[in-house]
Amino acid sequence: MPDSAPPAQPFLPLVLRGGVLALFCWAVGWMAMAKLSLGIVAGWVIGGATFGIGLYAIANLRGAPAGLWVTFGLKLLSVTGYKIMMVVMVSYLMKDCGMSDSDAQFGYLLLGLMMSSCTLLAGSITDAIGLRPTLAIGVTLAVTARVIMMSVSNPWLALTAGLIPVAVGEALCTPVLVAATRKFSTAEQRSVAFSVFYALLNLGFMAGYFIFDGIKQGGGGGSTIHLFGGDYSIQRVLFAVSGGIELFMLPLLLLLRERGLGAEDTPMRKLTVRSAVSESARLFMMLLRHPGFHRLLMFLAVIGLLKIVFSIMDGVLPTFLERELGVEGGKRAGRANAVNSVLILILAPIAGILTRKVPAYPMVIFGGFITAASFVFLALPQSVFQGLADGPLGQWVIRGYFDWQGAAHPLFLTVVLWQVVFSVGEAFYSPRVYEYAVSIAPKGQEASYAALSAVPLLMGKITTGAVFSWLLTRYCPAEGPRDTVTMWSIVGGLVLMAPLLLLVLRPFIRMKEEGKE
C-alpha cells in the first residue's frame, strides 16, 4: 500500500518561512550588488534566484527531515567554493606559477584524473565511516590545499602539495551530498529533492561566477589587489575566498544527523583506521561485482563527452575571452557563464516535471543533441552575427548585461546564445544522471553509487584538459593568427559523439529503470 501524502502544511508557518527566506535573499542580493559591485541586474538575479529555489523547496518538501535542509546548505557552500577555484585554476597555473598554456591545461587534466579516481573510492569510504566524518576530512583537506597554493609559486609544489590534496578533498565531498539527499528524502520526495539539489548546484555555480567577476573587477583592471598592507594576485585572493566559503561547511556539519534513518542505513560507528580501510575495500569490491556496474560506467563515460561543456566554461572560456576581447573581456567570463546557471534554475524543475515519467536514457540522447547543436554559435564566423549584435537584442546583452562600453563585438552575444541553447539540453538530461545512478543502489551503498554520478563531469575535465592543451596553443594562441572557427567545430564534434554513441550502444549499455518501463 503506498505511503500517504504528507499532511498539508499550516499557512502561518509557511508564510513565516517565506518571509525569513525573502529577508535572507534580499540580504544576499544587496551584498552582491553593493559589496561585490556587481550592479543592480546581477543583485536582483542572485537574490531572486535564491528566493525562487527556496520557495520551491519549502512548498514541495513538506515534512522532510532537518538533515535534508542541512544537506542543501552544505551543497550550496561546497559548489560555490569549488566553482570559484575551478574557474581560476588555469589562470593561477599560468600567471602565478609561470606555466605555459599546455602545461597549465595538463595541470587541469591532472586535477580531473585525481578527482575521478578519488571520487570512485570516496563513495565506499562514505558508506563505511559515515557522512559527517567523510565530509569533515574532505573539507579540511580542500581548505588546507588552497592555503598551500596561495603560498607557493613553484609549479611542482603547486601540483604535489596543492592540486593533489585539493583533488582528494573535493572528491570526498562529491558523493556524500548526493547520498545524503537520497537518505534524507522519501521515495515520494526524491524527484523533487534531486531537482532542488541540482538547482542549488547551479545556484552555487552562478554565485561563484558573479563573485569571480566582482573580485576581478575590484582589482581595478590590474593583476593584483591590495589587502592587509600587501599586494596579492587576483588568483590567490580568489583561492582565499573559495576556501573561506568551504570553511563554513564545518560548523554546519554539526547539524547533520544520521539518526533515525534506520539501522540498515547507518554505517559502522566505532571503526579503527584498519577496519575502515577494510570495510571501504569490501564495499568497493561489491560495487565492482554488481551485474550492471560496467554497463552503468560505460553509460556515464559517454555522458562525459557532454560534460566537456562545463569544463570549457571553467578552464577555457576565461582565457578565450581574454585573448579575443582583451583583459576587460576576460573579466566578464563569470557573468557569461552565469547565464547557464540562471536558466537551469528555471528550466530544470520544469523539465523534471514534464518528463518525470519518461526513462532517463532517451532523455539523455534528446538533451545531448540539443547540447551539441549549441556549438553552432561559436563555430560560425562571428561576422555572421554582427547585424544581430548591433540590433536591440545585441545592445541589451552587450551594453546592459555585460556593461561593455567598447565596440559591440558579436562574441558577447554568441556566447550567450551558446549558453541558452546548451542550457535547454542540460535541463533535459543532466538532473536525471544523479537520480539514475542512486536509484539502482542497494541498501547501504548509496554513496558508492552516488560517486558514479560524478564520473561524467570528471571525465569531461579529463577530456578538456587533454584536448585544449593542444587546441588553445594551435588555434587560439596568446600571440599570432587564430582560427577559433576550427577549434569550436572540433569541440562541437566531440560533444555530438555522445548522443550518437548512446544510440549505437543502446542495446548493450541501457539498464532497466524501476518504475519507468
User: Which has the higher per-residue pLDDT, 188 or 269?
Assistant: 188
**Secondary structure of residue 368 in the 3-state scheme:** helix
User: Which has the higher per-residue pLDDT, 169 or 182?
Assistant: 169
User: Which has the higher per-residue pLDDT, 366 or 96?
Assistant: 366
Spatial separation of the C-alpha atoms in residues 483 and 280, rounded to whole Å: 49
Distances in Å between the Cα of 382 and the Cα atoms of 82, 340, 484 are: 32, 21, 10
On the question of pLDDT at 301 being above 50, the answer is yes
What are the pLDDT digits (tens) for 283-292? 667 666 766 6
C-beta contacts of 251-256 below 8 A and 24+ residues apart = 252/70, 252/73, 252/74, 252/77, 253/74, 253/132, 253/135, 253/136, 253/139, 255/66, 255/70, 256/67, 256/70, 256/71, 256/74, 256/131, 256/132, 256/135, 256/180
- Is residue 514, in this structure, part of any structural domain at all? no
Q: Which cell numbers in the block locate residue 378?
A: 561559436
On the question of pLDDT at 46 being above 50, the answer is yes
* Total number of domains constituting the chain: 1
What are the pLDDT digits (tens) for 315-329? 788 888 888 888 878
On the question of pLDDT at 311 being above 80, the answer is no
What are the pLDDT digits (tens) for 409-453? 889 899 999 999 999 998 888 877 776 666 666 666 666 666 676
- Is residue 173, in this structure, part of any structural domain at all? yes
Angle value at C-alpha 288, between 286 and 294, nearest 5 degrees: 140
CB 72 within 8 A of CB 57: yes
Region of residue 63 (left: phi > 0; alpha: psi -120 to 50; beta: else): left
The pTM score is 0.69
- Is residue 125, in this structure, part of any structural domain at all? yes
Closest CA to 312 of 170, 93, 105: 105
DSSP state of 231: E
- Is residue 363, in this structure, part of any structural domain at all? yes
What are the pLDDT digits (tens) for 59-73? 777 777 888 888 888
- Is residue 23, in this structure, part of any structural domain at all? no
What are the pLDDT digits (tens) for 132-149? 888 899 999 999 998 998
Torsion sign across C-alpha atoms 25, 132, 341, 14? negative
- Is residue 12, in this structure, part of any structural domain at all? no
- Is residue 388, in this structure, part of any structural domain at all? yes
**Secondary structure of residue 238 in the 3-state scheme:** helix
CATH number of the domain that 90 lies in? 1.20.1250.20
What is the extent of the structural domain holding 220?
A: 36-509
Residue 37: per-residue pLDDT: 57
